[in-house]
Structure 1
Amino acid sequence: MLNANSLRIGLLALFTSTAVTADILFSENFEDGDSAGWNTSGNVAVSGTQSIGNYSLRLKQTASGAHSVNATGYSDVQITMRLAATGLEGSDRCYAEYSLDAGTSWTQMLELADGQDDATFYSASANPAGADDNSNLQVRFRGTGNLLGDYCWGDEVMVTATLGGLTPAPEIELSGSGNFGSVNVGDSDQRQFIISNSGNANLVLGALSSATAPFSVQADNCSGQTLAGAGSCSISVVFSPTSTGYAGDSLSLSNNDADENPLTLALTGTGTEPGTVVDNYDPLSGSGAVVRNELSYAALTGAPANGSLVQMGAFALPAEAAQPVHQFEGSLQLHNESTSGAFDEIKDTFRYTGSGDTTRKHLPEFDYQFVQTGTHLVPVERGTLANSHPEWEYILQPGRVWNENGDNGFSRAAIPFALHQKNANCMHNGVMSLLFKNDGSVSNVAYQISSETCLYFKFDMWGTLAASYTPQVINNADTVKADYQTEVAARLPTKPVAALAQDFPGIDPSQFGSAAETDPAHMTLFGVTYQGVNYVGGCATRAGDYPYCDWLTVPSYSTAKTVFAGTAMMRLEKLYAGASQQMIGDWVADCGATGTWGDVTFEHASDMATGNYGSAGYMTDEGRTHTNDLFLPEDHASKISYSCSYYDRKVAPGTQWVYHTSDTYVLGTAMNAFLKAQAGSNADIFSDVIVNDLWKPLGVSPTAQVSRRTYDAVAQPFAGWGLVFQRDDVAKIANFLNVADGQINGVAMLDNAMFDAAMQRNSADRGPIPLADYHYNNGFWAHEISGDLNCSNPLWVPFMSGYGGISVLLLPNGLSYYYFSDNDTYLWMKAAQEAHKLSPLCQ
């Protein structure tokens, strides 16, 4: 402990000399007028009353202020701090301290008492041995005064160090992924792990543990090896499923890396049935005697014209549809998309279009491949399809093919599609219709959009376009057909919501999708999953019911914060214990290892409790700045720069809920970087952890296996928005969380403790509080509804919520209720009360 004023001159020289020969890890003189990045407690302010320069950190009575410093990769760490005091009496003290264990224990550098409280700045430095290569280093100013006039003044903190020069030590590194994805029963797939030593001492490897079937170690070139610096070895593992379903295992490799022994190699895979194709899939038995007043043969083969809106039923498969006589396989191309078609604006909050012609009023260029399996027409590419159009991207869905007697020997096809707003999440659903023959003859293509899930931009778009059909052999046609038939067969059984009254007498189906809670004019679709059945409703448009509701595409918006960001974090925690407590700043360079993100964990970000914000008012920060600087930029660098830097530190992480989509973007970036470090540079947080580990084994559609990403080489998935679903996807994901308890084939896929907390089963960990009677935990919302159901005990119900009017309710009786609307309403209590009649919710 040092407290001599005579140290000041010598330490001033130290301040200037060390900066020349060493790197500055942290420097703070408070001249910017704030204490951003400092974890403060008590009465703390940046003041100019006593200072070296213009400002210092003022601590009144028992206040404190601490800051984290990451010294990973550095040696010869030197800490310098300056401290002054005023008004001390008796046992009052002011301290300057450092910690080597993230604040668990502290070492004093300076202690000022009565007699040293004349506003003179004292200085001290320390060169603690335990600070080298230490990510848990902290510095702190602290006071213990007991009167109003007791003040401590901290200023001119500097931490310097030399890059490298560490005590020789091995550092084990792993690249390669053990995520095999889906493999057909009877087949095998191989993955290779590379073990390397990035340290400066020999890495001594022990024996690799044994694998459990259906995994096996094919080649082990690492056990018993000693790797010098930069040396490497390989391990090959094979996955050979003998039955369908998810399988998981892990290998461990003992070694002499002090902080990663043993090294864990996670293995996951799903056995699937080999694809088989039914040639005459879903045959039709109608006579072809269809009475058609709209989209007739004459209308489709005449000169392209805009015409007028038709009823969406004109695109539907009619009751008397006959088996098609032609087979579609090849590419369909539309012409004159940018100059043809009609557009009628319904709502345009942001004034996108105006009265003149704009690209938003027209379809993007269309040139895509399809294959026909029986009476179904399947796009070769599914999910959001990137293109050069400035506003819209297609999502193409499987349609139908049939014959009508009035079509002069042509077969008729209908293709459901959606326009997905580029770089955003609005969804505008439509259908195309055309006539074709095997020889490449094709009619014009009629198209119409009459509905959407979009709060701020609503329109009708329709017309006919000239087209070209190029018959050609699609190389993977059999795979596309087999996958499609498997996808349809794996859907949950459906019934109309009205069937709830027959299946469960006494239930009022009108309370689900209730007009009293959500205006039907703004409802896209809704449903109830209960006892293995998906009871479905909705699908209304401004021109009648949407004819292919199974394929209707809806956006996620912030439900992605639950099913992507929150679920991925809990999956990472299951695979790599401690992942949720990783520091954001250690994995996102733009956020920095120190400053406002140096002490924010993955879980803090998932809880919307980073401590960094502008206003703590409910949803105040989630405004136009996000629109301009987070949502509109198309590159990762712009999005992450804004997300990391825009908000200042206000409180300690974990103490205040403030909703920021930008925080979820940061979390997605951090988790992606963490996963790459564990599983190799080709690993991807969405493709591997969500799609391969969860969505594919659950049978989630190819449409939902695509995430919005940045339009650059990084291709960073958004994590907080940008997913799309079909209603079967929503039902399966809800059942996975609410009925299967986060398990697939009896295997827990998510960390049990974190999942229990998210589902509100742990009264000691309900998460931060956004509003009275609400919690937010690991990406899941929860609402206390015991009063609405007359329950005697508290009843916290987890749910998901998305912008514009999206809710997915996970009730503890195993019923899930979902709806996708766009009238900015989020009510669901009538549904919960009706579900209470099926099986009591009170606990």
Structure 2
Amino acid sequence: MKGLISVALLTATFGCSSHAATLFSENFEDGTADGWTLVGNAQISGTQSIDDKSMRLKQTASATAGVDTGGHSAVVITMHLAATGLESGDNCYAEYSTDGGSSWTAMIQLTDGQDDATFYSATVTPTDADDNSNLRLRFRSTGDLLGDYCWGDNVTVTGTAGGVTPKPLLAVSGATHLGSVDLGDSAQSPLTLSNDGTADLTIGQLSGLVAPFSLASDACSGQTLAPGADCALSAQFSPNVSGYQSADLTIPSNDESSPLVLTLSGTGVEPGTVVDDFDPLSGSGAVNRTLLDYATLTAGSEALVATSGYALPAEAAHPSNRFEGRLELFDEATSGQFDEHKDSFRYTGTGDSTRKHLPEFDFEFVQTGSHLVPAQRGSIPASHPEWEYILEPGRVWDENGDNGYSRAVLPFTLHQKNANCQHNGLMSFLFKENGSVSKVSYQIASETCLYFQFDMWGLLDASYTPQAVAGAATLRADHQAEEVGRMPTKPISELANDHPGADPSQFGSVDETDPAYMTLFGFVIDGVNYVGGCQTRQGPHPYCDRITVPSYSTAKTVFAGAGLMRLEKLYAGVKNEVIANYVSDCASNGNWGDVRFEDNLDMGTGNYNLTGYMSDEGASHTNNLFLPEDHASKIAYSCNEYNRKAQPGTQWVYHTSDTYILGTAMDAYLKQQRGSTADLFDDLIVSDLFAPLGLSPAARVSRRTYDAKAQPFTGWGLTFLRDDVAKLVRFLSADNGTINGQAMFDSTLFEAAMQRDSSDRGLDPLTDYKYNNGFWAHEVKTKVGCSSDTWVPFMSGYGGISVLLLPNGTAYYYFSDNDTYLWSKAAAESNRIRAYCQ
């Protein structure tokens, strides 16, 4: 048989003591499921538990852990189990298996009538659990309704050292992939064979290697190793042709799993070929992996796991395989698991639907060093009825246990079609540059979305087609520049070290935003982005710098507001242009003949139904703006829904439709100035602002209508990374709207937007609030301890997004999704760090 490279831990102790030793103990109090394989809706919870945490199983699910009792006898297993909400036919189980999961024995079974959250316990001493590396423990639920829950807790396995039949156990350590080697040259990798068992290990004659692989040295063949002893050998790779090559080394022994077969591999390269070592990894590859291991990714089952399973480990080695080509997944529409947490609009029911599955995945990638780069970035339009992908660069590395494959992790986002909700996920797979690829594990366990929240996970078949990717060299160079050009980041806790007396807890304060709904936050001061948040329902996200967040109405500031201020800088007087002259739908009803561009930006068109705060915006008829996919429908609604009620520029009434009209008008104006191929977003926002600021490719894509017009939404539909947000706020706050010392905006509009012109504060949405040129502002005198009126301009986005542009040149931002918009503690703390009272 072909075995896996592993290092077994010898836990037996021989000699004077016969006391029981604890071989396994789990109470889930660390809040993780590390070491457990989860299938279905299984996760850590504090709702029912013996202490503070337990393993929660919902409907039909399982959680399985392996225990090695090698060298121990008198093994004792104890498990605890509770249930809630069971109906007839529903069951909760605590089980064990002594044959690696082929068969199971129930220790506890709970049914309807035993579902009052009482924890039951059972203790067993199965003799076949002694000296057993295949012992498995499992909590399992079989329910079919949303309210069926099982709760597993406090698991222990003990055993007495010794008193068992001695067995040898062969273990191997060392790298089996010998990397990229010049033709005509050689590379060697030392390997160690050790006896981690309790009896002598007899090793036979090693065999099987063929050119260009050989053994440079072999001190193991024919050797007998006492328990704890080891021997050394050295594998050699001497390529004479280019490309990936491999060969098997067979190691016979008296280990019960003999023979062990190791796959050695390497890549021959032409002399002088430059190996791409961007962001090199220096680990040995000796990773102790318990989640998403080689067996799981090649032949395992789907599971929602702790995010640590997708993280780059400390001992990761630089990748020995190179990916360039197309990755395609299969059976996306029918595979995978889905668990709903919130569905305000009743998108889904108990049956299957397209919202519960990934859209089709078939994309090109290139690799640079230890980074995997998608050929397409930003929101990618597709035919799926609900979802579109946003792909972000991932990481690639080697682990010794992956049998010559390299391991890749890819952050991705499901972006709600024609809307702005974003659900953040991770993918992981193994590959070789010859086209071999494992299954792809994926999961989504976080989002920035007020009304639709869920977990989604699965394990899909895949194909990797190595091929040249158009523009690969540019993709690699651009990605390297993006990585190098990021603003420096530090954990928010470091703020107290760099600014003595600062209280980091006032940023992302739990008193203002529930951490369970916080995607990310940051405080920007002196060119450093102090960051926090980044949690998922399965632990901290391992690639916080690659989490995408939606703009919602912050786009009204950085697209609509910045767009008109930039236009006014380039073409003085455009702010006073009349809407009806540029938007034919608005010209037809007579309500827009005296409404200026700036009136639309200020939410002061005079056309509305109700003046109550957000009354018009919250009405169901706004679906006629947000749901249609074509420009004709969106602009017809926007121009004709509201009647004239007030003189333009006098009454604030919030309408996203007004910003959509403004975007249409500004785009028409720009085409009039520059020709029909001009584009408001690409030419004015991206080329003039986002690109020179170094914003990511994700930020350089706007949601647009799904027709030939491709009208950018203007008032929503942008995507940001946290580095994008930090660079935008530095540009607006500390850099005062300049790039390389050059003012990018009309000074009159910008000064008014930043509340520096007391004669032009803007219109009044609420008491102590202003709205001017797409920017909100709040008077914070009493909140921060100032003696006179002090205005803080800010951006705001639907669901729980706030971005503060503080008067002292600092900035604070957070992206959350529980509909809270509090930030006075952060504003006050910024004032304590650097006073800004006016």
Q: Which residue of 2 aligns with 1:839?
A: 834
Which AA in structure 2 matches 1:429? N
1:288 aligned onto 2:285: yes
Distance 1:786 1:278 in 2: 59
- Select 2:294's aligned residue among 274, 294, 297: 297
- Select 2:709's aligned residue among 690, 707, 714: 714
Q: Which residue of 2 aligns with 1:756?
A: 751
Which AA in structure 2 matches 1:320? E
Return the offset for 1:627. Answer: 4.2
Return the offset for 1:475. Answer: 2.5
Return the offset for 1:348. Answer: 0.2
Q: Which residue of 2 aligns with 1:782?
A: 777
- Select 1:501's aligned residue among 496, 500, 512: 496
Which AA in structure 2 matches 1:326? N
Q: What does the per-residue CA deviation read over 1:56-76, in whole Å, with 9 as the maximum and x for residues that have no partner?
A: xxxxxxxxxxxxxxxxxxxxx
Q: Is the 8 A contact 1:585 1:594 kept in 2?
A: no
Q: Which residue of 1 aligns with 2:182?
A: none
- Distance verdict in 2 for CA 1:626–1:817, change over 3 Å: farther
Distance 2:480 2:820 in 1: 37
Q: Is the 8 A contact 1:419 1:428 kept in 2?
A: yes
Secondary structure of residue in 1 paired with 2:729: helix
Distance 2:784 2:426 in 1: 43
Name stretches of at least 5 consecutive residues in structure 2 with no aligned partner.
Answer: 1-273
- Distance verdict in 2 for CA 1:363–1:582, change over 3 Å: same
Q: Which residue of 2 aligns with 1:591?
A: 586
Which AA in structure 2 matches 1:578? G
Q: Which residue of 2 aligns with 1:405?
A: 400
Return the offset for 1:594. Answer: 6.3
Q: Which residue of 1 aligns with 2:648?
A: 653
Q: Is the 8 A contact 1:311 1:544 kept in 2?
A: yes
Return the offset for 1:624. Answer: 4.0
1:631 aligned onto 2:626: yes
Secondary structure of residue in 1 paired with 2:591: helix
Q: Which residue of 2 aligns with 1:663?
A: 658
- Select 2:765's aligned residue among 753, 762, 770: 770
Distance 2:831 2:621 in 1: 39
Q: Is the 8 A contact 2:324 2:366 kept in 1?
A: yes
Secondary structure of residue in 2 paired with 1:591: helix
Q: Which residue of 2 aligns with 1:360?
A: 355
Distance 2:788 2:623 in 1: 45
Secondary structure of residue in 2 paired with 1:500: helix
Return the offset for 1:625. Answer: 3.0
Q: Which residue of 2 aligns with 1:485?
A: 480
Q: Which residue of 1 aligns with 2:263?
A: none
Which AA in structure 1 matches 2:278? Y
Q: Which residue of 1 aligns with 2:537?
A: 542
Q: Is the 8 A contact 2:374 2:391 kept in 1?
A: yes
Distance 2:588 2:647 in 1: 16
Distance 1:668 1:803 in 2: 19
* Structure 1: 4+ residue segments shifted above 4 A: none
| Match runs of 1:450-599 below 5 Å | 450-592=445-587, 595-599=590-594
1:817 aligned onto 2:802: no
Which AA in structure 2 matches 1:299? T
Q: Which residue of 1 aligns with 2:370?
A: 375
Return the offset for 1:793. Answer: 1.8
Which AA in structure 1 matches 2:708? A
Return the offset for 1:335. Answer: 0.2
Secondary structure of residue in 2 paired with 1:739: coil
Return the offset for 1:713. Answer: 0.1
Q: Is the 8 A contact 1:626 1:662 kept in 2?
A: no
Secondary structure of residue in 1 paired with 2:373: strand
Q: What does the per-residue CA deviation read over 1:703-731, in whole Å, with 9 as the maximum and x for residues that have no partner?
A: 00000000000000000000000000000
Q: Which residue of 1 aligns with 2:610?
A: 615
Q: Which residue of 1 aligns with 2:340?
A: 345
Q: Is the 8 A contact 1:331 1:471 kept in 2?
A: yes
Which AA in structure 2 matches 1:542? R
Which AA in structure 2 matches 1:413? A
- Distance verdict in 2 for CA 1:521–1:399, change over 3 Å: same
Q: Is the 8 A contact 2:354 2:386 kept in 1?
A: yes
Return the offset for 1:278. Answer: 9.0
Q: What does the per-residue CA deviation read over 1:233-288, in whole Å, with 9 as the maximum and x for residues that have no partner?
A: xxxxxxxxxxxxxxxxxxxxxxxxxxxxxxxxxxxxxxxxxxxx993101111111
Distance 1:791 1:708 in 2: 41
Q: What does the per-residue CA deviation read over 1:349-405, in whole Å, with 9 as the maximum and x for residues that have no partner?
A: 000011000000000000000000000000011000011100000000000000011
- Distance verdict in 2 for CA 1:516–1:468, change over 3 Å: same
Distance 2:621 2:298 in 1: 47
Q: Is the 8 A contact 1:586 1:593 kept in 2?
A: no
Which AA in structure 2 matches 1:523? M
Count of equivalent residues: 565
Name stretches of at least 5 consecutive residues in structure 1 with no aligned partner.
Answer: 1-276
Secondary structure of residue in 2 paired with 1:792: coil
- Distance verdict in 2 for CA 1:766–1:489, change over 3 Å: same
Secondary structure of residue in 2 paired with 1:387: coil
| Match runs of 1:307-318 below 5 Å | 308-318=303-313
- Select 2:596's aligned residue among 598, 601, 616: 601
Secondary structure of residue in 2 paired with 1:596: coil
Q: Is the 8 A contact 2:784 2:824 kept in 1?
A: no
Q: What does the per-residue CA deviation read over 1:107-159, in whole Å, with 9 as the maximum and x for residues that have no partner?
A: xxxxxxxxxxxxxxxxxxxxxxxxxxxxxxxxxxxxxxxxxxxxxxxxxxxxx
Q: What does the per-residue CA deviation read over 1:293-338, in whole Å, with 9 as the maximum and x for residues that have no partner?
A: 11111111016x43x3100110110111011110000000000000
Distance 2:598 2:355 in 1: 39
Return the offset for 1:780. Answer: 0.0
| Match runs of 1:1-12 below 5 Å | none
- Select 1:828's aligned residue among 823, 827, 831: 823
Which AA in structure 2 matches 1:788? K
Which AA in structure 2 matches 1:424? A
Q: Is the 8 A contact 2:534 2:541 kept in 1?
A: yes
Distance 1:678 1:625 in 2: 38
Distance 2:619 2:786 in 1: 41
Secondary structure of residue in 1 paired with 2:760: coil
Which AA in structure 2 matches 1:373? T
- Distance verdict in 2 for CA 1:278–1:502, change over 3 Å: farther
Distance 1:420 1:594 in 2: 36
Secondary structure of residue in 2 paired with 1:345: strand
Q: Which residue of 2 aligns with 1:728?
A: 723
When the two structures are superposed, what TM-score results if normalisation uses the length of structure 1?
0.67
Distance 1:568 1:667 in 2: 10
Distance 1:743 1:502 in 2: 30
Q: Is the 8 A contact 1:279 1:374 kept in 2?
A: yes
Q: What does the per-residue CA deviation read over 1:746-785, in whole Å, with 9 as the maximum and x for residues that have no partner?
A: 1111000000000000011011000000000000000001
Secondary structure of residue in 2 paired with 1:595: coil
| Match runs of 1:154-233 below 5 Å | none
Q: Percent identity?
A: 68
Q: Which residue of 1 aligns with 2:327?
A: 332
- Distance verdict in 2 for CA 1:278–1:796, change over 3 Å: farther
Distance 1:679 1:819 in 2: 37
Which AA in structure 2 matches 1:281? F
Distance 2:602 2:340 in 1: 38
1:420 aligned onto 2:422: no
Q: Is the 8 A contact 1:418 1:427 kept in 2?
A: yes
Distance 1:353 1:593 in 2: 40
Distance 2:785 2:312 in 1: 48
Q: Which residue of 2 aligns with 1:130?
A: none
Secondary structure of residue in 1 paired with 2:608: coil
Q: Which residue of 1 aligns with 2:733?
A: 738
